[in-house]
Structure 1
């Protein structure tokens, strides 16, 4: 099992003037500790799980480009981008750029989007659920074509394009992995089976059932369920002095037993590198055996 550090909070004691240095230090520590993934949220307002909307929130892809320059191994992604925020051509170009400049370390995290407050707050269009999922399928088809040798036109439900030219192409082969976030059983998990390389689910009581639903969709699509990397979101809390490490390892082992390949989560205490470094000695060597 791999772990991913999710930089969900960007409100740090030293304030915005030191935010670049704090994020760089956290990213380097995660890279050196052996985390497999490093993620940020694709939000414009902070979400309630981590603080009030007025807390700091940097733009996702600018931040990932910055983090790429301070790491050498860890995979870089959003957890996850809302499809309504970017035209799929711009999104594919942003991920391609990240992949090329990071040496092949980009992952596309994508979902239908849910935060109506921030969308309407900034004056962005927030479509009804049906349309958001239509846009999600359009985007999944679009980026897969843009990352192929087919640079012909594209026709989707809401997007059309004349030529999906993408130069340079991404370094990741056959393309940057596509992680679809969400546990919707009728559409989201079907999209994972049809278009995705990874899924991201909540590590809750319904997880085993969601994985069974995904397996059924894979069978219906003629897809090998084992090809899909199963990830879940979970707070990675070892306690202020490591007192919760055993409890966390028990939960991670349980998730591994369900077939989870990676756990992506916020580590309380970040940006203190010492909190992250604890994972290098006490957690990652153990989870690597799950």
Structure 2
């Protein structure tokens, strides 16, 4: 598996009737595939996230949507960014992603995390528990899921989960990759060092040097060469040939969150969502990502385009701009 350039769709509010929603999703996935992206991601959520919209905004179930995308594409890898462990029994998660792999001809990636959105858990009746609970559960889940993806039967008796000779057939391969996503320097990075093929770091860009150092420490603690763990960074990209247009989109988005960049110092700006946003013309965005992300040893970029990704040609422009940076 290699994820050098991924395209995430976190937003399904396109100002269209619901019947036109999924065709717009498919159009973005196809455009990403032809523009040099190697992986397409959807979120595993039931409600839209704070900062991106209201809870009642459109949100598709991840694995149903990914199967539909699989039928409409040919080469691009398919993943959730990331599967919420708390939403499914781990053996079922292994079965679900393996079925996606079979359906897509070997293109699935299991992106997984501990889960964090309490409102969804409360509304849908999933146990939320404490922060420690959720990471204990993810640790146990990975001990079940990883062997099942590799063709082994799972028998596990833990605090949270139990399996008894759980089988996972059919499989198209025994090396379906595991991606962990998040920014936790101890728990998330520790689990990534133990179980993952790929880590997608979620943080403000100014934090990246510290995050990379922490990841190397987690790898050293278990004797893993950090070069064997692929690393990407999740970034919000607003790109257009008209840089002023997307700068206005950023301003409007941040204003909706009560943030006025013009009144902030550089230190204050680094504490806002703007620190993970890359905005401007193609040349400007490429320069920002090279200097603020890739220069720190990150190999891959996973981008979303919440303001204009659904507009025809936007994903193509991003792919043509960014693919040369990560190849």
RMSD (CA atoms): 1.7
Within the alignment, does 1:248 sit opposite 2:250 as a pair? no
Match of 1:261 among 293, 296, 299: 299
Structure 2 counterparts to residues 142-161 of structure 1, below 5 A: 142-161=144-163
Map of 2:196 onto structure 1 = 196
Q: In 2, are the aligned partners of 1:40 and 1:60 still within 8 Å (CA)?
A: yes
Structure 2 counterparts to residues 146-225 of structure 1, below 5 A: 146-171=148-173, 174-201=174-201, 202-225=203-226
SS of equivalent residue, structure 2 residue 111? strand
TM-score by length of 1: 0.93
Q: In 2, are the aligned partners of 1:237 and 1:245 still within 8 Å (CA)?
A: no
Deviation at 1:116, TM superposition (A): 0.3
Deviation at 1:31, TM superposition (A): 0.6
Within the alignment, does 1:274 sit opposite 2:275 as a pair? no
* Alignment partners' CA distance in 1, 2:326 and 2:300: 10
5+ unaligned residues in a row in structure 1: which ranges? none
Q: How many residues align?
A: 286
- Cα deviation digits, residues 239-280 of structure 1 (max 9, x gap): 363652222101221222211121112123122221112134
Deviation at 1:156, TM superposition (A): 2.4
* Alignment partners' CA distance in 2, 1:149 and 1:256: 35
Q: By percentage of residues, which structure has more helix?
A: 2
Within the alignment, does 1:71 sit opposite 2:65 as a pair? no
Within the alignment, does 1:238 sit opposite 2:207 as a pair? no
- Cα deviation digits, residues 191-239 of structure 1 (max 9, x gap): 1111111111124211111111111111111111011110111012213
- Cα deviation digits, residues 16-46 of structure 1 (max 9, x gap): 1111211111111111111111001111000
Q: In 1, are the aligned partners of 2:150 and 2:176 still within 8 Å (CA)?
A: no
Q: In 1, are the aligned partners of 2:286 and 2:321 still within 8 Å (CA)?
A: no
5+ unaligned residues in a row in structure 2: which ranges? 244-279
* Alignment partners' CA distance in 1, 2:88 and 2:126: 10
* Alignment partners' CA distance in 2, 1:181 and 1:13: 29
TM-score by length of 2: 0.83
Deviation at 1:288, TM superposition (A): 3.7
Task: Quickly say closer, same or farther: Cα 1:170–1:154, change in 2 above 3 A.
Answer: farther
Match of 1:52 among 51, 54, 66: 54
SS of equivalent residue, structure 2 residue 238? coil
Task: Quickly say closer, same or farther: Cα 1:270–1:152, change in 2 above 3 A.
Answer: closer
Task: Quickly say closer, same or farther: Cα 1:152–1:62, change in 2 above 3 A.
Answer: closer
SS of equivalent residue, structure 2 residue 11? coil
Q: In 2, are the aligned partners of 1:203 and 1:233 still within 8 Å (CA)?
A: no
Map of 1:287 onto structure 2 = 325
Map of 1:108 onto structure 2 = 110
